[in-house]
Amino acid sequence: MSNVVPPVAIAIGLLVLSNVFMTFAWYAHLRELSHKPWIVAALVSWLVAALEYLFQVPANRIGYTVLNVGQLKMMQEIITLTVFVPFLVLYMKEPLRLDFLWAALCLVGAVFFVFRPYLTGVSGP
C-alpha cells in the first residue's frame, strides 16, 4: 500500500480550507463589523481573502493535474455549499432550511454531468 495522498484528496483538503477563509471573508463582516465603515470591513475581508488564496491556488494547480477546469469548478461549488451551510447555521445563527437540501440535490445532478465520463465511461457531446 502506498503512502502517497492522491492529488484529488489534496485538492479537496486545500479547497475546504480555502472555502472556510473565503466564507468568513465574504460574510463574517456582516455580523462582526456591521458597526464599522464599509471600507474597514472591505480591508479586513481582503486580508482574510488573501489567506484564502494561499490554499486555493495550490489546490487548483494540484487538482488540475488530474481534473479539468469544469470538474474543479464543480468540486469547488460542492465544497462551498458544504462549508457555507454550517457557517450560516452555526456562525450566522440563521435557520436550517429545506431549500439547502434542494440546492444540494441540484448540485449532485450537476456533478453527475460534469464527471459523467469518469462515472459511466461515456464522454457525451
DSSP structure string for 59-112: HHHHHTTTS-HHHHHHHHHHHHHHHHHHIIIIIS-PPP-HHHHHHHHHHHHHHH
The sign of the torsion formed by the CA atoms of 31, 35, 38, 41 equals: negative
Is the pTM above the cut of 0.75? Answer: yes
Domain boundaries, the chain: 7-120
If phi over 0 gives left and psi between -120 and 50 gives alpha, with beta otherwise, what is residue 89?
Answer: alpha
Q: What is the full per-residue pLDDT of the chain (125 aa) written as tens digits? A: 557 999 999 999 999 999 999 999 999 999 999 999 999 999 999 999 999 999 999 999 999 999 999 889 989 988 998 999 999 999 999 999 999 889 889 988 888 888 877 777 665 55
